[in-house]
Every structure is written in structure tokens, then in C-alpha cells.
Chains A and B, each alone.
Chain A
Amino acid sequence: MRRCPIIPLLLLLLPGSLARAHKPSDSYLALQLDGARIEGRWDISLGDLDYALGLDADGDGAITGREVRAAQPAIADYALSRLRIVDGRENCPTVAREHLITTRSDGAYAVLRFTSTCSQAPRGIEVIYGLLFDVDAQHRGLVRVASGQQVQTAVLRADAAERRFAVAAHPAGQQVLDFIGEGVRHIWGGIDHILFLLALLLPSVLRRERNAWRPVSTLKPAMSDVLKVVTAFTVAHSVTLSLSTLGAAALPPRLVETAIAASIVAAAVNNLYPLFEGRWGIAFALGLLHGFGFSNALLEMDLPRTITAVTLLGFNLGVEIGQLAIVAVFVPIAYAMRATWLYRRFALVGGSVAVGAIACVWSIDRLLS
């Protein structure tokens, strides 16, 4: 009678009818096509890499940053040697670019960013996937291939490890155009950014004289003021947008959202009790916060595309173009109406009060949520 073997395997019966805990092994491979270049991002579980390669150098059951760093070349070799991207007849060679880490529901993952260059813009690529199948027969590669606006996904398994993805024809550089479009959409959709800007611009066609607002007599000072304010705002938010998107700076989203709302209140209040007449200073200082807001929104979008310096520039450009459009519509109207009671009382004062009040509510709401 073999009692011992019964015991451990016995209890295995029971969880079989229970939903399995934790998660079977998956890796996440995202490919972004841009002309003949393919940008890749591959998330691979550290636990899996340890089982296949051995990451835990000192065998203490804990994988530290140091151990991962030491293993990064091996990880890149291991992973890229088990992936082939083929354009029709020939391989598109892959080169590792960057090592990062991230966390998913089942633990820490190594993120490998790589590029693959085909000899020409492919009409279709074949992904031949071979990661981890030899050590984990239930491993799955969750692949996502994006090209322009088109996204295709596939689940690759040991018994179905290759897949062809047809790629819609698109010119190289399409990606940047897409990002420019996103930038425009963002500023037009970002009511808080618009309100801040408009609040700052309302007094541009006026000047302060003996505690009252008076219309400027010529266009020149108005335009000069608009230029200063808009430029200051633009420079400020571009800087922080870039820093934040590229990962060099980070602020908690809740803080940023609250601060942005508060900045609108500040601009509105300044219109009613003007402390700072040259508002480019405020535009710059508070514009820094808005940049973080843009960046958060950009990163939260589930873009199938990878964000690079070039695409970021495109996004920024889009924001500025969108902004310019708003200013180009607003300023002539404001200038034309600058002498009217409607503008000075209703738009400037009434408008600032209304905007300030709304922004106040937003601030409190964002702070508490």
C-alpha cells in the first residue's frame, strides 16, 4: 500500500474543480509598424525568466534589481533569439534597445524594447514566436500588432506559434501625423486648458487704468500681450509635457488635476483683482502644471503606438496648432468688442466669476475624489 504518494496528489483532486489561482504564463508583445521600422515592446514575467534562464544569482528566492540588471543582456538574447519577424521572404532583424520593468497582476515583468528593420515597408509580417514553450507548454504569447490606426491581436501557443498579419498600406511618418492629430484633439477636448488660456487672454485687449479696465487704443499692445501670454504658456507646458512623457519627471495625477483646476481659479481671480498685470509670468508658472496634465492624458490613452521623442514632438505640435486656432478665433472677437460694456462687464468680470466658480468646484472635487 503506497500511502505517501496518495497524500500529496490527493489534495490535488480538490482544487481541480475550483478556479485556478494566480495566472498561467503569458507574455505581452506589442509591435508598432512605422514604414519599414517596427518598434517592439515585450513584457516577460521575471518568474518565467528565472525558471528558464536563472535570474536569482544568489539562490535566496528573491530577485533583486541588481540581479535583473546583470541578466539583461542574457534576457535580450534569450527573447530575441526566439522571435522572428518575417516580411514575405526575408527576416527583419531585431535589435534590443532598452530594458525596463513593470508590474502586472501576477508579478514583476521585464520589459524589452527593441526595433526591427525590414528592407522595405512590409505589406504583411509573419510573427514566429518561440518563447518559453520549451519550458512551459501552457505559455501564451499575447501579440498586438499596430499599424497606423489599425490594431490586430493574436494569441500564440505552442501548437500555433506563427501568425501572419496583413498591414494596411500607410506612408512612413504617418505615425507622427497621427500624434499631431491627437495633440489637436487634446487641447480642443481639454476644457480646463482652454478655460485657463481664455481667462488669461480676456484682459489682453484691455489695460488697467486707475483701478478700472479700459480698452487699448491700438492692436499692437493687445497682440504683444497675447503673444507673451501664449508663448509663455506654450513654452511652460511643452517643457513639462516632454519631461513627464519621457519619464524624467512625474507628479501624481490627482495632484496635477487639482492644481490645474486651482490654476484656473487663480487666473480668474487675477482678472477680478489684478495683482499681476503682465500675466505672462502666471501663464508660465501655471502652464508648467498643465504640461503634466497633457502628459497624463497622453499616457493614459491606450495608444497602440509607442511614444518616442519624434511622436512626442508631433503631439506637442498638435497641441500648439489647436491652441493657435482657438486664439486666432478669440482675439479678433475680443479686440472688436473690447470697448463694449458687454465685454468689460459681462465677459471679463462675469465670465471670470463664472469660470472661477466652476474651477473652484472642480478643484474641490478633484482633491477629494
Chain B
Amino acid sequence: MADAKLRARTVIARLGIVCLIALLGFALYAPTQRLDGMRPLADSDDDRVLQEVSKRSAELRKLQAVARARADAPDLATALRLARENIEQARALSDPRYLGRAQAALKPWWNSPSPPHGVLVLRAVIRQSNHEFAAALADLSLALEIAPEDAQAWLTQSSLQVVRGDYAAARRSCGPLHRLATELVATACLAAVDGVTGRADAAHDALHDVLARSNAAHPGLKCWALTLLAELARYKGDPATAERHFRAALAHGQDDAYLLAAWADFLLDRGRPREVVALLEKHTEADGLLLRLALAEAQLRTPRRNEHAAELAERFAASRARGDRIHLREEARYVLKLERQPARALELALENWRVQHEAADARLVLEAALATGDVPAAQPVLEWLHQTQFEAPYVRALARQLGGAPR
């Protein structure tokens, strides 16, 4: 008996020692990663790619140097070029970091009430991305006084006016486009206004006709027009047509974040979350797309949904930590649908409504108001609905439930 015990003891002891040595060896050898998140560079990192950057950064740094060379006489042309490059990058990668760089390039003129025309236009674009819509409109207005032939500025102005709910002005801004740009651009501009003012049907048909005639248009323009057509079809309550237009837009392969988001929203409304997951699985850098993905996963109860939802929460928190308030629409939707806190969602939705008046913003307020049962809070949006005669059935239905459906 004692013998067996001795043997057992020896075996276990030896086994234990071997295991421990193995474990410790592994612990000491494995790439050390301190849990407070940081570690020294290891030799194995020498050839490892830690961060991808633009191949053009050397060139951009040269531009920076030139632009800043003389503080008393800043080089406008170079500064504009640098700003435009960064804005291009921001658009191409859907990455806001570049907008800060563009803004820095324009620093000598940034706070001037009447800077050169080129600066005005770019400043408007940057301000618009910051949701400083009033300031952006002021810049565009000034820019157009200086250079009334700038079609892009008219178009941007119109779209900002739509966001602010100033539809008469938006329509007027489309006017010059008939002369300054193609028929397609002008028609699309008007269609965007008409779509939210109760004329979605006519707007859709008009734009559809013009698009059919515009085969030579740039694919990016066609894609934009098709996305707009899809939204118009949704507004007039024709989901089959909307889907056709969405698919045609996607076929252009533009992978545009706006298009993907709009298509995902359509699919979510039609109860097709699986397609949303397939569509957006690879697009988790974009906050808006991550949100749609998380919404779809919540419906499907997929295993990764908590991970994505948690990541979203972190991103909103990071944005708030910085003092940015530009994600209000997305955050409100997240809080309503994923965190399920209708009161807070309503707060955010109303704060968002103060800044922008698009269909999605209206819908959010109504949904949140319904969820909290706070009907008076929805009043501003109900009034807006009444004024604009916006007809999207899914928004109308919400309004009816709140007891405020316009005639």
C-alpha cells in the first residue's frame, strides 16, 4: 500500500513539475502583452506591419511644408491642394481623421469671415461634416456671390437647405443647375426636395425618365441618382421598385457608405436581416454601417451581436469624450433599439432634430415618442409632417399611432 502511494506520489510530482515548467516556459517566452494594454517592441515586430497609412504621406508632408513655409504669406494654392487631397481621402475611406487635416491646411483663413473663394467652398464641406450646417450655408452663400457659376456649390447648398428644412430655398438653389450642370444633376437636385415635400411620385418619374436619357453620365452620378430613386420609391410606398433601384445602384460597384446604409435600412424594414449581415459583415469600420449590422444581428440573435453592440457603445462614448455631438441620429437609434432605453433615446432624437430634419430624423423622434408614450414630445415632427406633406407610409403609420396623422 505504501509502495503504491509512493509511486503515485512520485508520478504526480513529476507530472506536476513538468507541467509547471512547460507553463512557465510558455509564459516567459510568449510575446509579452501586459494587460494594461501596452508592450515594448519585440524583435518579431521588425517586419510586422503595425499600421497602414497612405502611400502619399511623404508627398502630403511636402505640401504641408510648402504651405507653411512663410507664415506671413501662406501659399493658398498649395494649401487648397492639400485640403482637397485630405477631403478626398476622407471620402474614399469614410474616415473623418482626414477632415481635421484638411481643416489644418486651411488654418490661415479658417476664422476669416470672407476668405478666398476656394477656401469658402472647402470650409463649407468640412463644416457640413461637423454638422455645422448654418455656418456651412453661410460659407456657400458667400462663395456663390463671388462665383455664381459654381454648380457644385449650388448643389451642396440645396442639399444643406433640405437638411435644415428650408425647402423653398432648396428648390431655388436647384435653379441654376439647369444652366450650369447636366439635366440629370438638376433633376436629381429637385427630386431630393420634392421627395420630402409630398411629391415623391412625380419626382420619381421625372428623375427616372432623365436617368434613362443620361447614359453618358459618370457612374458615380448614376449611382447617386439611383439611390435617390430608390428612396423616392420608398417614400411613395413602392418597395418593389425601390429594390430594383437599389440593386441597380449596387451594380455600379461603388460601395458607397450612404447607399449601403440606405439599402440596409430598407432590408431591415422588410424583415430581411440575414441579407443585411451578409452585406455589412466586412464593413465594421463605418459607425453607421456597424449600427445596421448590429441591428440585424440583434434580430437574428447571432453570437457576435453583443460584441458589435458593445463596440458601438464604446465608439459613441469615445465620441462624447471628445466633445463631438455629430452621431446623434445613430446614437439615438442605438439607444432605442439596442439598449432599449426609450427615454434617453427620445432625448437624443429630439436633440438631433434640432440640428437636422431629414426623413430618418423625423422617423426616430416618432419611434422614440411611441416607445416612451410621450406624445407631446413628438409635436415638432408632427408639425413638420403636416407642413411638408411627407408621405412615406412607414412614417405616416407612426404618426397615426401617435394620433397626429395629417390629413
Contacts and interface: CB of A to CB of B under 8 A. Distances in A.
A275 B16 CA distance: 13
A273 B215 CA distance: 86
B392 to A, nearest CB: 16
B231 to A, nearest CB: 11
Contacts of A9: 87, 125, 152, 156
Interface string A285-301: 10011001001100110
Which bucket holds chain B's interface residue count?
A: 35 or more
A307 B94 contact: no
Contact of B51 (A46, A52, A137, A307): A46
Contacts of B159: 13
A3 B216 CA distance: 12
Chain A contact residues: over half helix, strand or loop, or mixed? mixed
A68 interface: yes
Interface stretch (A161-169, A175-183, A218-226, A242-250): A242-250
A65 interface: yes
A50 interface: yes
Interface in B236-268: 256-258, 261
A48 B86 CA distance: 13
Given A99-B40, A136-B97, A65 B47 contact: yes
Contacts, number: 287
Given A5-B152, A64-B49, A19 B358 contact: no
A46 B322 contact: no
A96 to B, nearest CB: 14
B58 interface: yes
B275 interface: no
Contact of A300 (B35, B47, B224): B35
A102 B287 CA distance: 22
Interface in A347-363: none
A63 B91 contact: no
Interface stretch (A20-28, A194-202, A321-329): A20-28
Interface stretch (A77-85, A138-146, A185-193, A312-320): A138-146
B289 interface: yes
Interface of A: 1-3, 5-26, 41, 43, 46-48, 50-52, 54-56, 59-66, 68-69, 98-103, 105-108, 111, 133-140, 142, 155, 157, 240, 243-245, 247-251, 253, 275-276, 281, 285, 288-289, 292, 295-296, 299-300, 307
Interface of B: 5, 8-9, 12-13, 16-17, 20, 23-24, 26-28, 30-42, 44-55, 57-58, 60-61, 64, 68, 87-88, 90-91, 93-97, 99-101, 103-104, 107, 110, 125, 128-129, 151-152, 155-156, 159, 163, 180-182, 185, 218, 220-221, 224, 227, 256-258, 261, 285-289, 291, 311, 314-315, 318-319, 321-324, 326-327, 329-330, 356, 358, 360
Q: Which 10 A-B pairs have the closest CB atoms?
A: A65-B45, A138-B100, A21-B286, A299-B35, A14-B258, A137-B103, A21-B94, A19-B330, A22-B95, A249-B27
